[in-house]
Amino acid sequence: MTIPVELLQRLAGAKSVTVLTGAGVSAESGVPTFRDALTGLWAKFSPEELATPDAFRRNPRLVWEWYQWRRKLVAGAEPNPAHLALAELATLFPRFHLITQNVDGLHQRAGSWNVIELHGNITRTKCSDEGTIVSAWKDTGNVPPKCPACGALLRPDVVWFGEPMPAPEMRQAMTASTHCDFFFSIGTSTVVYPAAALPSEALRSGATVVEINPQPTPFTPQAHFALAGVAGVVLPELVKALKACRRA
DSSP code string of 149-167? TT-PBEEEEEPPTTSPPPH
Task: Output the DSSP codes for 92-153.
Answer: TSSEEEEEES--S-HHHHTT--S-EETTEEEEEEEETTT--B-------S-SS-B-TTT-PB
Contact 29, 78 (CB under 8 A): yes
Q: Per residue in 110-139, is it b (16+ CB within 10 Å) or e — as a string?
A: bebeebbbbbbbbbebbbbeeeeebeebee
- From 83, 97, 107, 119, active-site residue: 119
Determine the 3-state secondary structure of 32 from DSSP: coil
Is 107 in the active site?
no
Residues annotated as catalytic (active site), given as ranges: 119
